[in-house]
Amino acid sequence: MLYLVDGYNVTRADDATRRLLPDDMRLALMRRLASRGRGLLGQGRIVVVWDKGFNAGDESVTGVEAVFSLGEIADDVIVRMAERESGPVTIVTADRELKSRVRERKGRSTVMLPVSTLFEDAEQTHAKRRRPANAAYGGLPKGHAEITKELEGRWLEKEGPS
């Protein structure tokens, strides 16, 4: 699985990083992904795409790649990287236009995650987000209608007419 992260889109939406200088934003997200990326996203290659060129920050951290868009916008780089990938791709962005462009070129099978997936206080992991077994019943157990009917009968019998 390839995870493509829209770098500044994530850091500017996150309360923990939005007020930082760009160099510090990049470093904070890269370090967070290096330490918690697999837990927040799942197993796979994590690539953070940043607008503009390389700055002398410490963006190279173990387990996470930094790609700079240089003379183009990061969205174009993300679309191209997603399109070239032969396997599944997950995009982390809040940019609707970017999501639309990737889906148009890569297909509907591309997973889109909200930027909050990577926020400092993100609790759930993408790898663990599975539909609960009882989701088809709105979270109620199988056979809930019969249980409700039985309980209504017992409760309503005791109350009787007023």
Helix (H) or strand (E) holding 45: strand 45-50
With the C-alpha atoms ordered 126, 131, 133, 139, is the resulting torsion angle positive or negative? positive
Measured between alpha carbons, how far is residue 90 from residues 15, 17, 81, 102, 103 in Å?
Answer: 23, 22, 11, 10, 11
Percent of the chain residues topping a pLDDT of 90: 50
Whether pTM > 0.75 for this model: the answer is: no
pLDDT band for position 128 (cuts 50, 70, 90): very low
Find tokens 């088809």 and name the residue: 136
At 140, the amino acid letter reads L
Measured between alpha carbons, how far is residue 52 from residues 59, 115, 136 in Å?
Answer: 14, 20, 46
Task: State pLDDT tens for residues 57-77.
Answer: 555 678 899 999 988 999 999
Average pLDDT over residues 40-61: 79
